[in-house]
């Protein structure tokens, strides 16, 4: 669906690695994307393993990273004019396509904490801050969405079009090679490529001869992964049951806590008439709770609970809170069956703190 929507919009599709740094899945992803985007040197090195374009952008780069980044990436985006002036000439001389991140001042996110264009945002240059020659710049990067649906996406593109009509971009537009519209799109939504969204991209393209790309992550892979938990104990209370699982949302599914998300329980079956059951975790954090559900049958010790919609970010953001063991990452395919591609043990835990 992500590729189909990208084609309908007329944009190139990249994959942001920050939520899915899993090389074992690169052969599956590669036919659908034209490259990856990375948030730093290590991710860029990882992304190069796919053998496609490697785009990198970060709030700032350290001086001792630039040489390696120039040898790893095909595209590099600078977040500020000062970093562009400092490192842009070397990147250009090394053959990279150089970009500048633009903050369009467009917000659609419900929560300021996750809004790239929130007040005092450190992400990107405001249009009225641009001074002097942009001769090093081949492309513009704009990322303003978080869980953005079609109207959010179209609104962002329309805002960008109005900004590009300003005099500061008059000399840049004719030689601009690409515009990256960033990520945060709910690209798996079957209704994403609406007439308004398609028209907005077409109007943007009409301003020059540049390519337009997007770099979603979460909604390309969210539903590709599940967390398998087991019931260690069930505490029977008067009004509800409390099931203690052998996992931790804080360690294994951070999005559930950070975004206050309601988990997608794949199994066991739920029922509106079932007994209320709280799914609690094994850590000592009082708030480490997955939520309250009603199941067709009361949970028992030893039962398995499968939590879906966790393909993105969950294993990328893991911590060792309480020393709880990280779950294995298992790649499942019809052709190859199940294959453990990431696994951790005591030596990994010990190494984190030595």
pLDDT in tens, 190-206: 999 999 999 999 999 99
| Listed residues 166, 191, 221: the one ending a domain | 221
Separation between Cα atoms, residue 38 and residue 53, nearest integer Å: 11
The answer on 182 and 249 residing in a single domain is no
The answer on 348 and 309 residing in a single domain is yes
Q: What mean pLDDT value characterizes the chain?
A: 93
Residue in this structure with the two tokens 């641009």, named with its chain if needed: 130
The answer on 87 and 163 residing in a single domain is yes
| Mean pLDDT calculated for residue range 213-238 | 93
| Listed residues 169, 201, 221: the one ending a domain | 221
Among the ranges given (28-42, 230-244, 305-319), the one the predictor scored with the smallest mean pLDDT: 305-319
The answer on 184 and 254 residing in a single domain is no
The answer on 139 and 19 residing in a single domain is yes
Separation between Cα atoms, residue 139 and residue 330, nearest integer Å: 38
The CATH number given to whatever domain includes residue 40 is: 3.20.20.10
The answer on 96 and 74 residing in a single domain is yes
The CATH number given to whatever domain includes residue 276 is: 2.40.37.10
The answer on 162 and 298 residing in a single domain is no
Continuous H helices in 184-243: 195-205, 218-221
pLDDT in tens, 257-277: 887 889 999 999 999 999 999
Q: Domain range for residue 202?
A: 2-221
When divided into structural domains, the chain yields a total of 2
- Whole-number pLDDT of residue 321: 79
Task: Identify the CA nearest to 47 among candidates 75, 66, 67.
Answer: 75
- Whole-number pLDDT of residue 132: 79
DSSP character at residue 278: E
pLDDT of 353 > 80? The answer is no
DSSP labels, 64-99: GGHHHHHHH-SEEEESSHHHHHHHHHHHHHTTPEEE
The answer on 283 and 153 residing in a single domain is no
Among the ranges given (105-114, 225-234, 248-257, 307-316), the one the predictor scored with the smallest mean pLDDT: 105-114
Q: Counting beta carbons within 10 angstroms of the beta carbon of residue 188, is it exposed (0 to 12), middle (13 to 18) or buried (19 or more)?
A: middle
The answer on 290 and 148 residing in a single domain is no
Task: Identify the CA nearest to 263 among candidates 275, 283, 278.
Answer: 278
The answer on 315 and 208 residing in a single domain is no
The answer on 242 and 212 residing in a single domain is no
- Whole-number pLDDT of residue 147: 87
The answer on 233 and 135 residing in a single domain is no
pLDDT more than 70, % of the chain = 100
Stated length of the chain: 354
């Amino acid at each position: 669906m992500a590729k189909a929507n990208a084609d309908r919009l007329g944009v190139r599709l990249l994959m942001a690695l920050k939520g899915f740094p899993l090389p074992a899945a690169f052969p599956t992803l590669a036919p659908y994307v034209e490259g990856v985007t990375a948030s730093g040197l290590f991710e860029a090195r990882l992304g190069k393993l796919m053998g496609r374009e490697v785009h990198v952008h970060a709030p700032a780069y350290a001086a001792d990273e630039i040489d390696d980044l120039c040898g790893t990436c095909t595209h590099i985006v600078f977040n500020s004019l000062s970093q562009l002036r400092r490192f842009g000439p070397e990147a250009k001389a090394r053959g990279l396509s150089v970009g500048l991140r633009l903050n369009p001042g467009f917000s659609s996110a419900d929560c300021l904490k996750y809004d790239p264009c929130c007040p005092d945002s450190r992400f990107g240059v405001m249009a009225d801050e641009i001074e002097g020659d942009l001769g090093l710049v081949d492309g513009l990067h704009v990322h303003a969405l978080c869980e953005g649906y079609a109207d959010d996406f179209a609104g962002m593109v329309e805002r960008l079009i109005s900004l590009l009509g300003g005099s500061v971009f008059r000399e840049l537009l004719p030689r601009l090679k690409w515009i990256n519209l960033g990520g945060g799109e709910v690209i798996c939504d079957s209704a994403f490529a609406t007439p308004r969204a398609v028209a907005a991209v077409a109007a943007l393209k009409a301003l020059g001869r540049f390519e337009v790309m997007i770099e979603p992550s979460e909604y390309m892979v969210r539903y590709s992964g599940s967390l398998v938990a087991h019931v260690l104990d069930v505490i029977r209370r008067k009004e509800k049951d409390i099931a203690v699982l052998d996992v931790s949302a804080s360690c294994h599914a951070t999005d559930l806590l950070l975004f206050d998300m309601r988990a997608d329980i794949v199994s066991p079956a739920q029922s509106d008439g079932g007994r209320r059951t709280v799914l609690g975790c094994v850590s000592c954090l009082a708030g480490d709770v997955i939520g309250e559900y009603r199941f067709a049958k009361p949970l028992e010790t030893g039962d398995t609970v499968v939590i879906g919609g966790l393909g993105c970010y969950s294993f990328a953001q893991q911590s060792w809170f309480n020393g709880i063991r990280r779950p294995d990452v298992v790649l499942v395919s019809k052709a190859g069956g199940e294959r453990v591609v990431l696994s951790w043990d005591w030596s990994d835990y010990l190494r984190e703190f030595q």
